[in-house]
Structure 1
Amino acid sequence: EVYRPGSHFVQPGQLGRDNNGGANRAKDESIPPRLSQAIAAANGIKPLADIKEVEVKRKAWDGSEKIIAVDLWQVIKSGDTSQDIILQEDDRVIIPKADSISKEQSRELASGTFSPETITVNVVGEVVSPGAVEVEPNTPLNNAILAAGGFDTQRADTKKVELVSLKPDGTVDKRMIEVDLGAEINDETNPVLGQNDVVVVGRSGATKTGDSIGTFTSPLRGLFGIFNAIF
């Protein structure tokens, strides 16, 4: 459950991120790489990764295989860096998929060492610069709208937007959000966004009068075919 599975060469001292989201580099490049660096090289973990049940499979000197159980959740929750083990050449890291994950865990993971440094969200419709924007994990809705240049004040419905999310299980969640640009992060008016979320900014009533429905929806269908059934 990583974004780029496969074999990766991880150099000692390779750049990673600390638990506060900042960059860090091992001072001594002779220090072997740790598990978190290998995960970073694989572009981070997916939202439904079960980081409590990580396994590192290692070949022993006699040819047998040793399995090391790792609970990376302890690194995030309590700073237990002993779980961020040092890797050896040819180690195999197995990160399984969780049956479910709590909202608290999801948010902690998004800001932890093992998450991507940025995520992509799509802000489409009546904003100044519609399209994909790169934002930090745990970025709220209001910040994404601002990253797209803010509302097109001549055309946008500034009172509500539609949020479309592709859930980890493959289902689509679609809901209308009442916009409050002054709100703190909250699930009702300023929710935290996830990878590949789509924010649809509709047109104001006056703009709808002068435009055809097809003018607005056709580009969305071309860009986001996966959501065709929704629009």
Structure 2
Amino acid sequence: MNQPGILELVSFGPQGWGKALLAGAWMTVLIALAGYSIGAAIGSFGAWAKISGSRGLRIAADTYTTVLRGIPDLLVIYLFYFGGSAVVTAVGQLFGAQGFVGFPGFLAGSLAVAVTSGAQFTEVFRGAFKAVHAGEIEAAIACGMGRWLRFRRIVAPLTLRHALPGLGNVWQVVLKESALVSITGVAELLRQTQVAAGSTGLPFDFYLIAGAIYLLISTGSGLFMRRAEQHFSRGVRRS
């Protein structure tokens, strides 16, 4: 019996796995977006704590970035999933539930990705803020701008401009980290690929297809980030 070709494997017909792979790719993007958004919020607070917070906040932010950048991302996902499941099971037992109650894999994976990426966001935002020339802030103060107006019109746009290259790198890392969430049973791209490979006995073909899909997503998002850099760098003299 002849083995099906690549086009047949990714088709949307009854024998193809196109729908499953597309659904998995969409779930991968959702996990990455959720983790990226929450991580950006965490990183914003962490950068603020390192820049203008009290000594206690600086120590807490330094500890957070050191710990999260020093332990494997897979371990963080395990801690969120099994730790969350232990908490949910204990709460469920208080209300009469029996047996193990699993923590939602999507939520556990998104939070784990957010916490790990938040450490990277912290350093990206901190470095971007430090890159803003002090004279630009002093000029805003001399013009009589209040703290909020100064932040909205001067500090935030300039910080974002300097942070964009780093933000693009963090997104690529988050996108790859989302593949680890497959261990929680979430039907993202890698999980769907594993199912397809096991069902057809064609692991190499399907993992090659998954690699192409990941590359397509990362390339498209990379082009978007470069367009964003060009947009926010309008009027900037380049050496």
Please classify the TM superposition score into its range, dividing by the shorter chain length: under 0.3
TM-score w.r.t. the length of structure 2 is 0.22
Return the TM-score normalized by structure 1: 0.23
When Rg is computed on C-alpha atoms for both structures, the one with the higher figure is 2
